[in-house]
Amino acid sequence: MADDPADALYAGELEDFVGARDALAKALRADGDRDGAVAVKKLAKPTRAAWAVNRLVRERPEEIRALVAAGEALAGAQEQLLDGADAAVLRGAAEAARRLVDALAAEASVDGAARDKVRATLHAATVDPEVRAEVAAGRVVKERSAAGFGGLEALIAAGRGTTSAPSRPTKGKGRAKAKRAAEPPAPPEPAGPDPREVRRRRDALRRANEAEADAESELDGARRALEQVEATLVARRRDLEQAEAAVSSARDRRERAEAAAAELDEVG
């Protein structure tokens, strides 16, 4: 990432992003790299939660690499489960991924709702390869989320199976058969979520989160525009006050000059 000058934008402070982005675009244009300048100018300012994730990528690189590896292991475990492998493999991979998500979210440099969004984005990275690639690159622009019915908890639940009761020694085949007949049948193993339904709900929630992030970005732009208008209004009000003071001073000088002229007329 260090070879890309645009990476410094996502490594810096959130409040400095727009100014640093515009300065970088200007420098690239001055160097004759018009295409690079245009590309940099289009880079979106991250939301606060996305910025916190990008900081984790740079401050906790080993843990992030472990998170990426856990997501890939989880995907492999899902494939193995579909092929008939032991469900405990999926459960173990999902639980390991969840522990990494919780540990990283606890280190995020934000609190409250923003930290919840950081956790949701890291969670999504464990189950969604697209989000995983964004997080690994350290250029998350807006928070992401896994579907509420298809995240790590659902995968952990899918990996839970029933354990068979230990066998008891018997004194004869007839008695063993009688016992087996008398024992109630084992409860059915809970069914895991339908992978297609998981994907559908995850996609629907991702689209909803993206729409929310887009709206927040538009709100941020409108807020910046309002701040510029207010700053211009303050400057114009200051100019008006200075002009009014200049008029008042000129009026005073004129009145004093008139008074002095009137005194001369009286003397003459």
pLDDT in tens, 34-60: 999 999 999 999 999 999 999 999 999
Q: What band does 240 get if pLDDT is binned at 50, 70 and 90? A: confident
Most confident option among 127-131, 175-179, 209-213: 127-131
| Side chain identity, residue 98 | R
Q: What band does 226 get if pLDDT is binned at 50, 70 and 90? A: low
Per-position DSSP letters for 142-195, written without gaps between them: S-----TTSSHHHHHHHT--PPPPPP---S-HHHHHHHHHHSPPPPPPPPPPPH
Tokens of 265: 């007329």
Q: Residue 184 has what pLDDT?
A: 45
Q: What band does 268 get if pLDDT is binned at 50, 70 and 90? A: low
212-240 burial: b if 16+ Cβ within 10 Å, else e? ebeeebeeeeeeeeeeeeeeeeeeeeeee
Q: Distance (Å, rounded) from C-alpha 131 to C-alpha 77?
A: 19
Q: Residue 196 has what pLDDT?
A: 59
Tokens of 121: 């984005």
Sorted by sequence, the CB contacts under 8 Å of residue 4 that are 6+ apart come out as none
Among the residues of 46-111, which ranges form H helices? 48-59, 61-82, 87-106
pLDDT of 62 strictly over 50: yes
